[in-house]
């Protein structure tokens, strides 16, 4: 790791440890958003963000009422496992995962050698999150995160995410216009939160950028890096009751999602 990356890693750690103290307040409804955004811009440089980066990245960002509606209407995880699995997985997805396991065999082999995470688990997550990179979202990440950071319901959490997203821009991994994702700001082919992007994204294809949107290799290796960091045990199973199944709980808190990852991965492995 060169000096530049060492310094960047230290700066990232400092940002993520101090962001909760970022005190731009919060609000409910569009009228207060411009004032909040101006205050955020003024305070964000205290956390290692360059004023020109913040101003440029957040120029023209506005309140998005659609994001708030979506935040208030999440129902999928109230389904039973059988209902959730039937809604999210089908035989075509399993077959596609098996095909991709062959076509990306070299990438998966190198990833498993480095991180210990096998292809079926990564394929299952990849398929569930974005249909193997087919659709990773088209909403402007910075607009979504700014809206949610301003909103009082989870302001502190999303303020951290907004600061991390701006760090992604600052370190040159993506331009603001490239950062399009899910309504809550998840980014890339396996839907990383911005804080996890900063901490775990890797440049596996060695093109100089950690690009989890356009590089499948970066996205898959970054996912493996995340799982390894959370305790994945190489060479072991992932069914309920195993240490690796507990790691899946760190990927997604919903029990139905964890079980779906495990079951889908086992079918892909056949």
**Which residues are designated catalytic?**
129
- Per the structure block, which two tokens stand in for 187? 């980014």
What is the domain-level CATH number for residue 23? 1.10.8.350
User: What's the pLDDT at 45?
Assistant: 87
Residue 263 belongs to a domain: yes
Tens digits of residue pLDDT in 45-70: 898 999 999 999 999 999 999 999 99
Same domain membership, residue 153 and residue 177:
yes
Tens digits of residue pLDDT in 146-168: 999 999 999 999 999 999 999 99
String of DSSP letters for 18-75: HGGG-----BSSGGGHHHHHHHHHHHGGGGT--HHHHHHHTTT----HHHHHHHT---
Tens digits of residue pLDDT in 243-267: 999 999 999 999 999 999 999 999 9
Residue 196 belongs to a domain: no
What distance in Å separates the CA atoms of residue 42 and residue 45, rounded to the nearest whole number?
7
Same domain membership, residue 107 and residue 155:
no
Do the beta carbons of residue 188 and residue 212 sit within 8 Å? yes
Say if residue 15's pLDDT is above 90.
no
Output b/e per residue, 5-43; b: 16+ Cβ within 10 A: eeebeebbeebbeebeebebebbeeeeebeebbeebbeb
For residue 211, count other CB atoms closer than 10 A to its CB. Answer: 23
Look up the pTM and report it: 0.88
Residue 191 belongs to a domain: no
Beta-bridged to residue 180, according to DSSP, are: 140
Same domain membership, residue 147 and residue 63:
yes
Same domain membership, residue 245 and residue 169:
no
Domain that holds residue 50: 3-72+139-186
Tens digits of residue pLDDT in 211-238: 999 999 999 999 999 999 999 999 999 9
Within 8 A by CB and 6+ apart from 205, the residues are 215, 217, 218
């Amino acid at each position: 790791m060169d000096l530049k990356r060492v310094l960047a890693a230290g700066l990232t750690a400092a940002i993520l440890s101090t962001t909760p103290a970022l005190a731009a307040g919060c609000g409910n409804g569009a009228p207060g958003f411009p004032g909040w955004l101006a205050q955020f811009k003024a305070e964000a440089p205290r956390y290692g963000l360059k004023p020109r980066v913040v101003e440029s990245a957040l120029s023209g960002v506005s309140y998005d009422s659609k994001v708030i509606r979506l935040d208030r209407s999440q129902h999928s995880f109230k389904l039973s496992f059988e209902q959730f699995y039937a809604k999210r997985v089908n035989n075509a997805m399993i077959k596609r995962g098996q095909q991709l396991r062959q076509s990306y065999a070299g990438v998966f082999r190198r990833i498993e050698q480095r991180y210990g995470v096998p292809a079926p688990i990564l394929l299952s997550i990849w398929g569930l999150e974005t249909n193997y990179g087919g659709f990773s979202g088209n909403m402007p990440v910075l607009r979504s995160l700014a809206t949610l950071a301003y909103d009082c319901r989870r302001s502190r959490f999303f303020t951290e995410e907004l600061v991390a997203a701006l760090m992604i821009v600052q370190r040159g991994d993506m331009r603001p216009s490239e950062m399009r994702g899910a309504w809550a700001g998840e980014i890339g082919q396996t839907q990383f939160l911005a804080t996890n992007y900063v901490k775990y994204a890797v440049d596996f294809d060695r093109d100089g950028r950690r690009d989890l949107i356009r590089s499948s290799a970066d996205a898959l290796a970054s996912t493996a890096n995340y799982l390894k960091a959370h305790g994945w045990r190489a060479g072991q199973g992932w069914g309920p009751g195993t240490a690796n199944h507990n790691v899946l709980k760190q990927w997604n808190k919903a029990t139905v999602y964890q079980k779906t990852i495990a079951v889908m991965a086992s079918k892909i492995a056949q």
